[in-house]
Amino acid sequence: MKKVRAVLVIAILFVGGQFAGYTYITPFFQQVTGLGPNLLSAILLVYGVASFISNFAAGFIASRSLKVLIVLTVVLSLISLLSISLFGHNSVISIIAFIIWAIAWGMAPLGLQLLVISSARDAVEAITPVYVGVYQLSVSLGALIGGLAVDTTNVTGAMWLGALSFASVLFILMVRPTVNNRSLVSQTE
């Protein structure tokens, strides 16, 4: 049960961090990076395509190591948000970081869901609706807390908040091993 709670905290921080930053990426790119509407639309389209494609890569990685998938996703998200926060005025760095963030986010849902399933073992049916509720709550809380960061600091504050959330996930993964090195397939055999 402790492992399930730790995994749900990871999910809250991960999804909350994602939406703390992503909800405010359009005003960030407009106000900080100075992107126009046409380029911004194209970048958001690339984000969607990259997320879609990386979801398939997540399946490949997860079949070999769930731990690698989770850690890779968190590290890529953290690096992306730190880069956007630190170098937001540089459009090239910000756009590259945003595309890397898209790749990470495309892998995240599968990784998080497999992490929850692997931690629940015999109670998958019981944990699944809990996880869905936690996920939805995390989207809302992330956007809300990101908005509070924007209101109290500026739009870059939401990006820093997202980075802090991903750093927290990485810390939890380091101090509390919630994922082993085996693939999910080998865990269920």
Query: What is the 3 state secondary structure string of 39-107?
Result: HHHHHHHHHHHHHHHHHHHHHHHHHHCHHHHHHHHHHHHHHHHHHHHHCCCCHHHHHHHHHHHHHHHHH
Q: 188 pLDDT exceeds 50?
A: no
Q: 180 pLDDT exceeds 60?
A: no
Q: What is the pLDDT of residue 119?
A: 86
How many beta carbons lie within 10 A of that of residue 36, not counting itself? 9
Max Cα-Cα span within the chain: 52
In this predicted model, what pLDDT tens digit does every residue of 100-136 receive, in sequence order? 999 999 999 999 999 999 888 788 888 999 999 999 9
How far is the C-alpha of 152 from the C-alpha of 84, rounded, in Å?
19
Q: In whole angstroms, how large is the CA radius of gyration of the chain?
A: 17
Tell me the whole-structure pTM to 2 decimals.
0.90
